[in-house]
A = this chain, B = another copy of it.
Amino acid sequence: MITSEHQSIEIPRSKNPRFVIIGGGFGGIEMAKMLKNKKAQVVLLDRHNYHTFIPLLYQVATAGLEPDSIAEPLRKIIENTKDFYFRMAKVDRINPEEKTVSTAVGDLPYDYLIIATGSKTNYFGNESIYKKAFPLKQITQALDLRSQILQNFEKAVQTKNEDVRQSLMNFVVVGGGPTGVEVSGALGELKKQVLPQDYPELDFDMMNIYLIEGLPRLLSGMSDYAGNKALEYLKRFGVTVQLEKMVKAYDGTEVVFSDDTKLKTQTLIWAAGVKGNIIDGLDEKSIERDRLIVDEYNRVEGYDDIFAVGDIASMKTAKFPKGHPMLAPVAIQQGKHLGENIVRITENKPLKPFTYLDKGYMATVGRKKAVVDLPGGLKLGGFLAWITWMFIHIFYLIGFRNKLVVFSNWVWNYFTYDRGIRLIIRPFDIEKKSQEIND
């Protein structure tokens, strides 16, 4: 009503060159912080008005944290900064010839463009899964999943059909990476320590959590030790891990596996993979396996004035011949580094190449259990790893208020075995699932 395709986003030009950042994820906001009050006009674009701390989304989905505490308003991050603008807008197209980006609210010219669009859920082209599975990449998706999980148990209490009850209490998690392991472990905690109090009428031996992984091990990005420990911990939380198995189809009530076995479930959680969130308009040659090829300065191949950081960027190095892993620490370091390089651009200094400082990998499995691979080969498991995991996540969470709220929630959940956030606030309807499902 108030916008048209041919409108432009009007932001007054300053004496500084304009840097347009697409995406307020880990890479985007690190860069934004580096560029505060520098000789650069910065315009940050995001389709949401907040930054999402994706590593804790699974705790929102499993009623452990409120969504507000893992998100930070983007305007707050850039408050009191000169020559810095935020626009809530989804970029539909990059026009490198005209040096503009196109959004639903108009076009915006740039001098330099930084693509920090991250990744989106990869359904590997499987339409049935795309339509019916629950992804876990956005806050709205985490809220949908939370409502679905809780609503399943309300329905399980009400039905007199044993088969239906079983399908409501079967949860299938696909993907044995950190997200899949963490969400399965959190479901295991709900089964063992939280839900039986709420639903004394239900037999929680009926609650089955299946974690499905195509490879012969869990956490393939981490050490064998971590993979084995995670498997052991998940078993203790009552999770059935099935390796070397994949999902072929899912119609919302029945999942068909690669070995043609079937299972009735109302809830398939899809954590099997992500792919770069490519925006149309760049030369095909700059794209490889849904990521943008960048040089050691995060410059996109074929363009002098376009950069990319984080999951969307593929920087091939000796250690990472296929590009860095699609993980938050890479995005954070690249965002910060590119921010410094942009300052160098504004000062006409030569750019410095990016090198990734490996700070290790970690995944939590549930109450008091996590696995950590530290750089240099040290490996942690169990309680110590869990404490490390919590400390690191609080440290990297954006916003002092969020740190306080998340920490308080964890202390509360730890001592009370309670989950305060178990409200069904989105009347769930599988057909009306968030429009943003694949964005």
Contact = CB atoms under 8 A, between A and B. Distances in A.
Interface of A: 2-3, 7, 9-10, 48-50, 66-69, 71, 73, 75-76, 79-80, 85, 87-89, 105-106, 139-140, 143, 150-151, 154-155, 157-161, 164, 197-199, 201, 399, 401-402, 404-405, 408, 412, 418, 420-427, 434-436
A114 B10 CA distance: 59
B68 A421 contact: yes
Given A154-B49, A164-B2, A85 B201 contact: yes
Contact of A401 (B197, B399, B412): B412
A158 B198 contact: no
A218 B235 CA distance: 62
Contacts of A201: 85
Given A143-B425, A198-B73, A199-B75, A154 B88 contact: yes
Contacts of A66: 66-69
B423 A71 contact: yes
A354 B371 CA distance: 60
A309 to B, nearest CB: 24
Nearest to A88: B154
Contacts of A76: 198, 418, 422
A214 B160 CA distance: 52
A52 to B, nearest CB: 9
A81 B32 CA distance: 53
Q: Which of A10, A79, A425, A435 has the most CB of B within 10 A?
A: A425
A49 B158 contact: no
Nearest to A82: B200
